[in-house]
Amino acid sequence: MSSPSEYEPEDDQTSSEPLLEKTETTASVLSLRKRYVSAVIAAIVVLIVVLFLLILWPLRSKAFQSSNGDGVCRQAQAAARREWRLLSSPERLEYLRAVKCLSSIPSTICNGTLHDEFAYIHRQIGDYSHEAAPFLPWHRYFIHIYEQTLKQRCQYQGTLPYWDWTRDWANLTQAPVWSATEGFGGNGDTNLPAPVGDGYCVQDGPFAGLQVQYYDGDWNPHCLSRGFLAGEYLDHFGAQRLNSSAMAAVLDEPDYYRFLLMLEDSSHSAIPILVRGDFSRFTAPNDPIFFLHHAQVDRLWWKWQSEDLEVRALAYNGPSRQNSSIAAQLSDQVEMAGLAPDIPVSSVITINHGLLCYKYED
Ligand SMILES: *[C@@H]1O[C@H](CO)[C@@H](O)[C@H](O)[C@H]1NC(C)=O
Ligand SMILES: *[C@@H]1O[C@H](CO)[C@@H](O)[C@H](O)[C@H]1NC(C)=O
Ligand SMILES: *[C@@H]1O[C@H](CO)[C@@H](O)[C@H](O)[C@H]1NC(C)=O
Ligand SMILES: *[C@@H]1O[C@H](CO)[C@@H](O)[C@H](O)[C@H]1NC(C)=O
Ligand SMILES: [Cu+2]
């Protein structure tokens, strides 16, 4: 064992060198002053952080809380989410305007804009929810935040539309959502180089040439990209996974977690496999069709829940996160990494109670 003094040799050394004493004193006054200045700076920083927490954070939190303060969502006041092809032409254009607006507002979370934030957060934190119990509630909350952001930051008055791809199973690439005049534009231009994931720069529609910041785990500015599958593969994913008998089999599964896996791995994943490019990785929200796709997934979950609402509004089992051996519980937090406050799964387990107040119109 060494004596404690071995760790404090400096005092002895300075006192044994008197010539240095004066400069040392000046130095120590200077260092005192430096410390004082640092203390003042630290105090200011703390003050700013406290002000931020006191003023901005509650505002941000409030932004994602529903207006129905009493927790009751009456059928008449529930906002109706509708299928893309059931919107009027002005309603489609208004939705596309609001989505484009997101890419004009700088992000405070990541490089780029509010548009990039969703891809960034989905990659940063959302991965834990895939192939696990939180897959459905995580995305239910995520697309709700997106809908609220469109309303609050881009003055959007409507609701989030959904894309019912089961109507397009015969040829997914001909779906009206890909319209260049009243949709999200179509396939990338195969004459141009493929920047990411077998996708080519989208050159038609409102998102032609849109620059996005992330691709999977990387900061990788590039153009919004799609690379539609063709031929035999297209038939396979559309016809085999999304036809009415395939969908009926998914919805017939009574167990929550087995239903989730069938929905996620079969129907849900058919769309990114078909679209490729940006949609094929965790930064899939780069492609704005992601949100209509997930509204459809959410609608199918609600359809499944509505078959036996009393039981299924509480049905929640499976791993609490990807690769975890811990069983999921309704009290688990839905994690959003600062995009919006974390909330318990129970807050989003139904769409007509508590935080959420919407319905799906067929
Ligand atoms: C789960 O395990 C797989 C395979 O080892 C791995 O690729 C994946 O990143 C893991 N997921 C998480 C969220 O850690
Ligand atoms: C699907 O539609 C695309 C675009 O119109 C067309 O090129 C393709 O041949 C169609 N595929 C099938 C299997 O009908
Ligand atoms: C943001 O962009 C800068 C370059 O402007 C880059 O060095 C940095 O890694 C990026 N940060 C993130 C979180 O992507
Ligand atoms: C519909 O999907 C089922 C299940 O994948 C498949 O067996 C059947 O052949 C499909 N029907 C058509 C018309 O493609
Ligand atoms: Cu996801």
Ligand 2 neighbourhood includes 173 CB (under 6 angstroms): yes
**Do residues 194 and 234 share a domain?**
yes
Q: Are residues 36 and 85 in the same domain?
A: no
Are 241 and 204 within one domain? yes
Ligand with smallest separation from the Cα of 217: 3
Atom of ligand 2 nearest to the CA of 172: 1
User: Which pLDDT value is given to residue 154?
Assistant: 98
- The parent domain of residue 45 ranges over 4-49
**Pair (108, 212) in one structural domain:** yes
Distance from C-alpha of 280 to C-alpha of 115, rounded to nearest angstrom: 17
Tell me how far the alpha carbon of residue 290 lies from the centroid of ligand 3, in angstroms: 24
What's the rounded mean pLDDT across residues 117-146?
97
Q: Give 35-61 pLDDT, tens digit per residue.
A: 766 776 677 666 655 555 555 554 444
Q: Which amino acid is at 170?
A: A
Residue-level pLDDT at 243 = 92
Q: Same structural domain for residues 36 and 183?
A: no
Kind of pairing between the strands at 358-360 and 79-81: parallel
* Ligand whose nearest atom lies closest to the CA of 120: 3
Residues 6+ apart with CB under 8 A from 81: 159, 160, 161, 162, 295, 299, 358, 359, 360, 361
Hey, what are 296's tokens?
């459809």
Q: In angstroms, rounded to a whole number, what is the distance separating the alpha carbons of residues 132 and 331?
A: 15
pLDDT for residue 10 is more than 70 = no
User: What is the Cα–Cα distance from 280 to 70, expressed in whole angstroms?
Assistant: 40
Identify whether residues 45 and 179 lie together within a single domain. no
Answer yes or no: do 17 and 86 share one domain: no
Q: What spacing in Å lies between the alpha carbon of 188 and ligand 5's midpoint?
A: 22
Is the per-residue pLDDT at 2 higher than 90?
no
As to burial, measured by CB atoms within 10 angstroms (0-12 exposed, 13-18 middle, 19+ buried), residue 97 is: middle
80 in the same domain as 44 = no
Looking at the predicted structure, is the pLDDT value of residue 7 above 50? no
pLDDT in tens, 176-215: 999 999 999 999 999 988 888 889 999 999 999 999 999 9
If you measure from the C-alpha of residue 308 to the centroid of ligand 5, how many angstroms do you get, rounded to a whole number? 26
Q: Would the CB of 235 count as within 6 Å of ligand 2?
A: yes
Residue 132: phi, psi to the nearest 5?
Answer: -155, 170
User: Is residue 269 domain-shared with residue 205, that is, in the same domain?
Assistant: yes
E strand intervals along 116-241: 200-201, 211-215, 218-223, 225-226
CA 99, chain centre distance (Å): 14
Q: Is the CB of 243 under 6 A from ligand 4?
A: yes
Which ligand has an atom closest to residue 291 CA? 5
Instruction: Take atom 13 of ligand 1 and give the residue whose Cα is closest.
Output: 128
Instruction: Name the range with the highest mean pLDDT among 43-47, 64-68, 279-283.
Output: 279-283
Overall number of domains in the chain: 2
Residue 360 parent element (H or E): strand 358-360
DSSP 78: S
The verdict on pTM exceeding 0.75 is: yes
What mean pLDDT comes out for the span 8-30?
Answer: 41
When pLDDT is averaged across residues 215-226 and rounded to a whole number, the result is 96
Q: Is 174 in the pocket of ligand 2 (CB under 6 A)?
A: yes
pLDDT of residue 337: 96
Residue 227 in tokens: 């690379």
pLDDT of residue 58: 46
- CA angle, 273 then 237 then 222, to 5°: 20
Residues 116, 10 share a domain: no
35 and 134 inside one domain: no
